[in-house]
Structure 1
């Protein structure tokens, strides 16, 4: 998190010294990227109307990035923090040093209050078309930021559920890698895993299934 804040401050100082606002800087990046993107689409044999629509969608996505910066920074902080803890655990194990027993990824579960982040975010996106024009952007971008952060958090919780069952049923390491790759790459599965983590807030799959001991296997791995 400290690294990301430092990076953000460095970018702000750099933009200020150049006399640019974040939005203006992003607009310049979008303008520079439109040309190569158009050439790529032309090389794929797309007609000009489809190219114009694709370029417009690309430009819209780029111009939204400054407004989604809070969510992107939080998600990056979460990912970096998780990677740091996982790496530290492996280092401690290799050095045969004790690691806090309270930390267990397969038992990772968010507080139920985090579920309301996604609910509020989705509600903001639902009411956005009906609010006064002056509030459309604030409500819409607030909802998008909340959904991005909560979806990332619940995706991690969904991964913890998947890891719990893979450990429980002794899934081979190669199969685990393939499953994780599919969870990250396939967008539909990514969303399903996030919703799996969300519903775990109320259902608690691991507590329910932990009562059922597979044949020939101890209750706790």
Structure 2
């Protein structure tokens, strides 16, 4: 066995163990598990690009077997659908020289498309309405949260504001969970691509990943947003639900473009790290600031805020 083959096998084993560890943290640790879930695709993505497609697939299969042994077949299926497929699809796009945004879009659409197809087949075969099951799960979570408040002594009129807020939030989730799933998967893919950019110098071939502050949506997205706005005027529940989901995704994409503009100016004017962190903290806490950033991304279509300005002649 050659040294390259031994190195590849060692990387597959190391990557498989890391993937399983991260995925186990996601399943067993409620808070810490969320960042771990976002990083779970990275070992397969990185070693697949470093050692080739066979190594990436072998790593995924090894991790799936280990997850099945530790957590059962359902956990293994969840790993394959949530992390493994995303890693392989991302690696496929990056290896072919796709831009970061195109690689992410391709991987997310492939992953969620296959998941939706599998869900549709399961729904038809079992006769189970998956949408109703999701809605029922959301309502059950709300009931559990309200019971927790009651156990802590919050009852009657004191509980009403919490009940109203949770019920309104549950109604929003029941209508927008497809868009939120797409956004969540896109964030996970973006985190892995940005992390891959940091390790790009360790890969055998150069990869095409531009910095985030250059991100820009295609110009035709504005026409999608306009069409969605008119669709919301149609008195049809199905059309309105679809339009709201598309509008949510479009708003998220323009938010990313606005955030890229902000990052561009942070780097152009060397804004101190403390001020950057304060801005990001306010962005999380203030919804109006997030809307302003999304509008900044939308208006970039006409203003082109990152265009180099010619110095004025004195």
Q: Moved runs in structure 1, 4+ residues, more than 4 A?
A: 5-19, 40-46, 48-52, 93-99
CA 1:197/1:51 → structure 2, altered by over 3 Å: closer, same or farther?
closer
Q: Matched residue pairs, number?
A: 200
- Residue correspondence of structure 1 range 3-152 to structure 2 within 5 A: 3-8=111-116, 19-40=127-148, 42=150, 43-44=153-154, 47=157, 50=161, 53-54=164-165, 56-65=167-176, 68-69=177-178, 71-93=179-201, 98-100=206-208, 103-125=210-232, 127-128=233-234, 131=235, 136-152=236-252
TM-score, normalising length: structure 2: 0.54
Q: 2-side partners of 1:193 and 1:82: how far apart?
A: 19
1:198 and 1:116 mapped to 2: Cα distance? 11
The answer for unaligned runs of 5 or more in structure 2 is 1-107
CA pair 53-80 structure 1, distance change in 2 beyond 3 A: closer
> Does 1 or 2 have the higher relative contact order (CA < 8 Å, sep 6+)?
1
Gapped regions of structure 1 (runs ≥ 5): 214-221
- Larger mean CA deviation between 52-61 and 30-39 belongs to 52-61
CA 82–195 in structure 1, closer or farther in 2 if over 3 Å, else same:
same
CA RMSD of aligned residues (A): 3.1
Decide which moves more: 6-15 or 154-163. 6-15
Per the alignment, residue 157 of structure 1 pairs with 257
CA distance in 2, matches of 1:174, 1:187: 21
Once structures 1 and 2 are overlaid, which stretch shifts more, 18-27 or 157-166?
Answer: 18-27
- TM-aligned CA distance change 1:179 to 1:95, over 3 Å: farther
Q: Deviations over 1:159-207 (max 9, x none)?
A: 1100110001111234323323332342111111111100111111111
Tell me what 1:180 maps to.
280
